[in-house]
Structure 1
Amino acid sequence: MYEYLSGKLVYKCPTYVVLDVNGVGYHVHISLHTFGQIKDREQCKLFVSFQVKEDAHTLYGFAEEGERRLFQHLLSVSGIGANTGRMILSSITPTEIQAAIVQGDVKQIQRIKGIGPKSAQRLILELQDKLKKEGADALIMVPQHQSTPEEALTALVMLGFNKAQAEKVLAEIIKANASQLTVEELIKLALRRL
């Protein structure tokens, strides 16, 4: 139904943005990967996936067509919903996801929060051939941006994690890493521990 939305970013956080398109504000859920790409922009174009359920009509936005295509592939797998698809795209890069599926790396996929051995095997079984056919065109590079622990905490809470638990895990990660981590790195490390 919708191909993309292009407009002014009125509000942005690691899990969603409000995009003003000619005076209409769209609430668009995003992955951490997309947040990393649009974080410093005032205007942007998001490729969208419109998901309809009985109780909600939801827009998911992606900075690149390749990430949206991967999201749609993920949703085609039995047992993978839109929130799980977004969690997968927020946990590891789309390039790593595709590589893990194509190579049959169950352990890499199982590191993602909420993905057990059966789901990991199902992802590989159902998507391996599709992703092999797409080849390098579907691979997406991840830009790196500096950010703060508060943004990481907000993202984790919005993804449904307990705030106190998330704060504790983030504090441990920051203490263990002498160098400053990006918001993306903080969230990925926290997702592995929560």
Structure 2
Amino acid sequence: MIAHLRGKLVEKNPTDITVECGGVGYFLNISLHTFSQIAAEESIFIYTYLQVREDAQILFGFMQKSEREIFKKLISVSGIGASTARTMLSSLTPGQVVEAITQEDVAVIQSVKGIGAKTAQRVIIDLKDKLSEFTEDVNEIITSSRNTYKDEALSALETLGYTRKQSEKVVTRIIKNDAEASVETIIKLALKNL
């Protein structure tokens, strides 16, 4: 298992990054939370999780060890795959995920695309007692940067499974209301409104 990578950040998108280590480029799927924490510097240290399936080996990246551990706990729940867990950590911060589960807030978990009432309840039942260690570790990261990222946000939403047509109306409305919104903010708000 690949536990972490230290190397050169070659490419950065809202849903993925490419890190070069020893001449090899590693493609990592990331959440919006991780995207918001990646500095514009060239060198990067990132925690990873390697998912091995019959048809693929998929590498996920996390700036915080605690986010990776929450991701691993989420995918241990029946009905929550890696894609849904990543969407969850893109719609909500790790802190909000932990809080929603420990507070048994079904509505917050259900607000994530692809999670119905039964799955939300299963997440709470399975993880409520397993997340107490994270309540101290997880910090909310608030970022603000100017907004010229409509296409980047739309591209990320398409990657997360939304059609460009349905995303465009919501993204345009968000930008109209907040011209200074960052890519992460646009996508998070769009995920809550789609």
TM-score normalised according to structure 1 size? 0.94
For 2:52 and 2:178, the matched residues in 1 are separated by 44
Aligned counterparts, 1:15-94, within 5 A:
15-94=15-94
1:171 aligns with 2:191: no
Shift of 1:182: 1.5
Question: 1:111 matched to which residue of 2?
Answer: 111
AA aligned opposite 1:3: A
The 8 Å contact of residues 106 and 117 in structure 2, kept in 1 or not, is answered as yes
AA aligned opposite 2:81: G
1:142 aligns with 2:163: no
Q: Secondary structure at the match of 1:130?
A: coil
State the Cα RMSD in Å: 1.3
Question: 2:153 matched to which residue of 1?
Answer: 152
The 8 Å contact of residues 2 and 49 in structure 1, kept in 2 or not, is answered as yes
AA aligned opposite 2:140: M
Q: Flag structure 1 segments of 5+ consecutive residues without an equivalent.
A: none
Shift of 1:179: 4.6
Q: Which structure dedicates a bigger proportion of its chain to helix?
A: 1
- In structure 2, relative to structure 1, the CA distance for the partners of 1:66 and 1:113 (3 Å cut) is same
Shift of 1:152: 1.1
AA aligned opposite 1:114: G
**In percent, how many aligned pairs have the same letter?**
48
Shift of 1:178: 4.0
Q: Flag structure 2 segments of 5+ consecutive residues without an equivalent.
A: none
Deviations 1:80-108 (A, max 9, x none): 01000100000011001100100101111
For 1:90 and 1:63, the matched residues in 2 are separated by 13
**Paired residues, number:** 192
